[in-house]
Chain A
Amino acid sequence: MALKDRSSKKDKNEKKKKSTRGTYSARQIRMGKLSALFAAMLILLTLLSVKLVKIVTEYGDEYQRIVLSNQRYDSVIIPFRRGDIVDCKGTILATSEKVYNLIVDASVMMTYDDHRYLEPTLNALSACFPNINIQELRAFVVNNESSHYRILAKRLTYGEISEFLNMQANNSYIRGVTFEEEYRRIYPMGTLCSTILGYTTGNTNSGGMYGLEEYYESVLTGTDGREYGYQNEDATLERTIKPAVDGYTIHTTIDATIQRIVEDKLNEFNTTYTNNYRAGNGAENLGCIIMDINSGEILAMADFPGYNPADYMNTDPLIGCKYYEAVTNAAGYIEYRKSQDVITQEMLDEMTQDQINVNLYNLWKNQCISYTYEPGSTAKPFCVAAALDSGAITGDEVYTCNGALQVANYYIKCHTYESGGDGVVTVQDSIAWSCNVALMKIAQTLGAENMCKYQRIFNLGLKTGIDLAGEARTDTLVYNNQTMGPVDLATNSFGQNFNATMIQMIAGFSSLINGGYYYEPHLVSQITDSTGAVVQTIEPRVLRQTVSESVSERMRQYCRATVMEEGGSRRSGRNARPFGYAIGGKTGTAQTIPRETGQIVISFMGFAPADDPQIAIYVVIDRPNFAKQDNVKYACLLCRDILQEVLPYMGIYMTEPLSDEEIRYLEEKQLENTLKYTQGTGTSDNGSQTEDPYEQIEMTQITDSTGETANVYPRWMSYPIDPATGYRVGPDGTKYDADTGELAYGTSTILDDSIPVNDNLDSDTIRTNN
């Protein structure tokens, strides 16, 4: 080669030394040595290649397995968003907000020997999160260099972490802090609708308890997404994101405005009468349902006390309630029994968590669907409608009430027993005046078999199927063909001796009024997905025809007479009429068990407007905080106050003339007067005819019952007050309300303890064995 040539010519010095070193020149020796080294390198690299092949062939499978098992398949859960609950106008009642958990990765902070990330990160943390104990955190990070995951703070809002995120973006030395996403349930309206909504447990976006949150749990919850690594068929790690499927939004039929009015009025009632007669709340239970009478849609449903679903363990709402205690009954089951003690802050402080929980269970319940009670006279329209619909009576019958009726061995009284009875009573009067004797006679005509049959038709004893969790079972709380004796038939006719829930009563009552269509009461009208697309529309569902249209028409007439003038002065629901409106309805004054204690549930169930029923309303005041609980006027007034605001809001205009006093009242309370839209003037030309419910002294009542003229100063005012009962007692023994002169419906005069009742009726005991 030319190169060889070149080199040989180059170094003449070395060429001369060739002879001393044998046949090779020094240059050749050098080159040879270098080539030998190159060969050695080739051999070494070959050996290393052999070693590589050996590693793969001998240990490849094992090492591969180790690598795969070392692999952390740290699939990250991407939480779904729980669906919203909105009212009929789209107002958000419950929603979910993204929150962040602060995670510290100590190993990242301790990267590098100089720990360059540690102090900048800790400084930023201490600047942005004053609640974090930095000294403790520093100790943790330094002592746990291998820790990757420690939750430092939970459920921070974006506002709380945004400052830190900014600092992190601007300083690359802030490291080792990550934020994990989560959702938090929030209830923007606070305690509003709490009894309908229920709550979600703990810190997850599932686990709905009570109300809609529980009933629609599967609809509201979605599916968690995941970001995860997996091995494909080549055993290669791949990362995949499966996005979360958010929960559906439920659109309720609730109108937050109506709900607000109702809850405000209940609260107002409670505030007014708290500690009025005895210690504690204004009533042991307050409930109100407003329902679309022609569809079964619930517009408002409230009980008192409510609670804040976002802070459901708060015990403040319990103060003033009756204390429930856990008792082991004769059968060995634990029962929760209402005691006579009223919960105070001192009691709460001493209560164990178990005892608190027992009482909270009661608080969280929706009393409108869970609480059963004897409905009292609000059941009378059901009995009359049954009698009319079955043909047992024609509606033209006339009954005589002497104040009591003997049934079997018992002498069952009317509330007018003290004043000698209602006298001649038509079918309409039997409802308008709420005459027990007439009703018992109608029931006897109807017969036990038909009575039971119609109770089932009205869904008494059955669940209504409302879409809320926790509806009470009432099947053991009513009689059937076999068990109903003549006394039971008699007492059932006026709503005693069987239990019902509020939702059963109002759903059945709506069917009596709307032409006989029993709508399944419901709260949810539509379900949409997270993009707003409709998933399901829930149409009103007619379960059955309860009574015929003609019977329904009569019921509208009778119930109207209970409230409006045509019912005469003895009409029981006169106080329930909102000014300017005509409504119909029925009062209830029900005794509780035990009878002799004078504990009463007063209620009013009505519909409005009277001529074109659109809504049904039911107000129940369980054991009001009065000396004399049997004054149904308070239920009527509560109903009136609610309707006075709800009806104008719903665009239902006044039809009835207003008296000057009523106009004054409306102006004073800044309530709407819609009469001008229907009659062109807001002034009544006939004010004298209109009864003024705020006129406490009702002279007409006296004149009617005594036959004397109206100009006489009411006679009852001269009667002495009985210090034991607080009533004025007339010479014939009739009791009058000391202030208003209303006839006292002495409870002990209607039913006494000797009259047998269904053993299951004690509504103050919650049986755990159901």
Chain B
Amino acid sequence: MAANRNTKQNKTGEVIKGNFKNAAANLSDYVETDVDMNLVFIVLFLLGFGLLMVYSASSYVAFRDFGNSAYFFKKQITADLLGIVAMIVTVFVPLKWVEKNKSTKYLIAALANVVLFLVIPFGIESHGARRWIQIPGIGGSLQPAEITKLLMIVFLAAMINSMGNAYISSWKGFLFCMAMASFSSFLLYALTDNLSSALIVFMIAFVMCFVASQDFKKYILLVALGLAAAAGVVAYVESNSSATEGSFRLTRVSSWLHPENSAETSAHQMLQGLYAIGNGGWFGRGLGQSVQKVSVLPEPQNDMIFAVICEELGIVGAISLMIMFILLIYRMLLIAKNARDRFSFLLVSGVMAHFAIQIILNIAVVTGSIPNTGVSLPFISYGGSSALFLLIEVGLVLNVDRASRAESRER
């Protein structure tokens, strides 16, 4: 028995070795958990930091509009706690049935699309779009786009896994997966007017196909084409300013290119974010000292929370946060590496892609590198649905990790 335990410890120790020599790792070693505690601690840290920043960014607005400075904070902490419970449950859900039964994945795909239709009867209109559905009885609301993202990751992982390497590497397999994803993207855009979520689903599918397939060429070609198309849009907007009228997407492109021309309207948020970064400087104004969050920056706790972080904690704080995100992705990368099968690997890849895409897009928007798309920063931005389903995605990753550890222990 004693020897057996020793070997187990050694194996776990090997996993840790060369990755982290921190307390979290030692704790993972000591407590003998079945999952990657590094990842758990990184997620918990990000959640805690997110709550802190949500409170800091929203307290003024919350007090002004609701008479309670902790209004957003309370809602967020509720969603976070709910999400942690969901995450733990997810860790122990057997995933085998998803890949075993052929029809299951189509059921998931159907669910991912059908859930979007719920906004028609149950939708709550806000900011000119019906993105939330009211959950009867609880009084809370849910963003079905987040469910779609999660289910599409699961579906694509199962779909690609069932295709086999050669098929997914062919144009046919690739296009089939992309068509499925595009359909969901279309629904996201058409039903919830949520272009950013549509793009994210599309991009996740693209990344998952890329990872699964055996060749590079068509992806390089497609990325090149995509960049050319983007450049074309930019050039079009540049040369033909009147064309942007009527389309708020094009207006956003235009205001991204020339924020000074439309300081009062669509570029306002972006410009104020840039001012916040500039005002923060290297070390920031100090926690809670943001000036821009006070009524100048609209909804500072949402998509622009990174600007508030920059203003309060400076570039040093912002880069530290980015490093935490890199560590998060890195832990997922390691779990993908150790995944016991192709489905698990693809599942983790999809989640990784989801996190990475949102992080990069959000920071790119805040720094004015791309037009405003309305992507939230995972675990940091205010948003209950986002936190809940991202935590379930982390639960999926930990599930994969748990399975691979269990398997390696058996050996």
A-side residues, CB < 8 A to B, are 1-3, 6-7, 10-11, 14, 17, 21, 26-27, 29-31, 33-35, 37-38, 41-42, 44-45, 48-49, 51-53, 55-56, 59-64, 66-68, 70-71, 108, 111-114, 172, 175, 234, 236-237
Among candidates B214, B282, B336, B341, residue contacting A34 with C-beta atoms closer than 8 Å: B336
CB–CB B315/A52 < 8 A? yes
Given that A7-B338, A31-B336, A236-B285 are known contacts, is A52 also in contact with B278, CB under 8 Å in the complex?
A: no
CB–CB B279/A112 < 8 A? no
B-side residues, CB < 8 A to A, are 11, 14-15, 64-67, 125-128, 165, 207, 210-212, 214, 274-282, 285-286, 289, 291-292, 296, 310, 315, 318-319, 322, 325-326, 329-330, 333, 336-338, 340-342, 345, 349, 352-353, 356, 359-360, 363-364, 367-369, 404, 407-408, 411
Among candidates B65, B276, B338, residue contacting A67 with C-beta atoms closer than 8 Å: B276
8 tightest Cβ-Cβ pairs between the two chains A and B? A63-B278, A67-B279, A63-B275, A51-B367, A60-B278, A41-B356, A26-B165, A33-B211
Residues of B contacting A42 in the complex (Cβ-Cβ under 8 angstroms): 326
Residues of A contacting B345 in the complex (Cβ-Cβ under 8 angstroms): 27, 30
CB–CB B341/A55 < 8 A? no
Given that A51-B369, A56-B315, A66-B275 are known contacts, is A3 also in contact with B338, CB under 8 Å in the complex?
A: yes
A72, B160: Cα distance in complex, Å: 56
Query: Nearest chain-A residue to B310 (Cβ)?
Result: A52
Given that A6-B411, A63-B277, A113-B128 are known contacts, is A45 also in contact with B326, CB under 8 Å in the complex?
A: yes
Query: Nearest chain-B residue to A37 (Cβ)?
Result: B207
CB–CB B325/A67 < 8 A? no
CB–CB A113/B292 < 8 A? no
Residues of A contacting B11 in the complex (Cβ-Cβ under 8 angstroms): 2
CB–CB A29/B363 < 8 A? no
Dominant SS at the A interface? helix
A164 to chain B, nearest CB (A): 15
CB–CB B211/A34 < 8 A? yes
CB–CB B275/A10 < 8 A? no
A-B contact count (CB 8 A): 149
CB–CB B278/A48 < 8 A? no
CB–CB B369/A48 < 8 A? yes
Residues of B contacting A31 in the complex (Cβ-Cβ under 8 angstroms): 336-337
A462 to chain B, nearest CB (A): 63
Residues of A contacting B296 in the complex (Cβ-Cβ under 8 angstroms): 67, 70
A111, B14: Cα distance in complex, Å: 56
Query: Nearest chain-A residue to B346 (Cβ)?
Result: A30
Residues of B contacting A30 in the complex (Cβ-Cβ under 8 angstroms): 211-212, 342, 345, 349
CB–CB A63/B341 < 8 A? no
Residues of A contacting B275 in the complex (Cβ-Cβ under 8 angstroms): 63, 66-67, 70
Query: Nearest chain-A residue to B285 (Cβ)?
Result: A236
Residues of A contacting B359 in the complex (Cβ-Cβ under 8 angstroms): 41, 45
CB–CB A45/B322 < 8 A? yes
Residues of A contacting B125 in the complex (Cβ-Cβ under 8 angstroms): 113-114
A35, B210: Cα distance in complex, Å: 12
Among candidates B67, B214, B278, B282, residue contacting A172 with C-beta atoms closer than 8 Å: B67
Given that A10-B340, A111-B65, A113-B126 are known contacts, is A64 also in contact with B281, CB under 8 Å in the complex?
A: yes
CB–CB B278/A41 < 8 A? no
Among candidates A7, A33, A56, A112, residue contacting B277 with C-beta atoms closer than 8 Å: A56
B12 to chain A, nearest CB (A): 11
Residues of A contacting B278 in the complex (Cβ-Cβ under 8 angstroms): 55-56, 59-64, 66-67
Residues of B contacting A2 in the complex (Cβ-Cβ under 8 angstroms): 11, 14, 408
Residues of B contacting A21 in the complex (Cβ-Cβ under 8 angstroms): 214
Among candidates B281, B333, B408, residue contacting A35 with C-beta atoms closer than 8 Å: B333
CB–CB A52/B318 < 8 A? yes
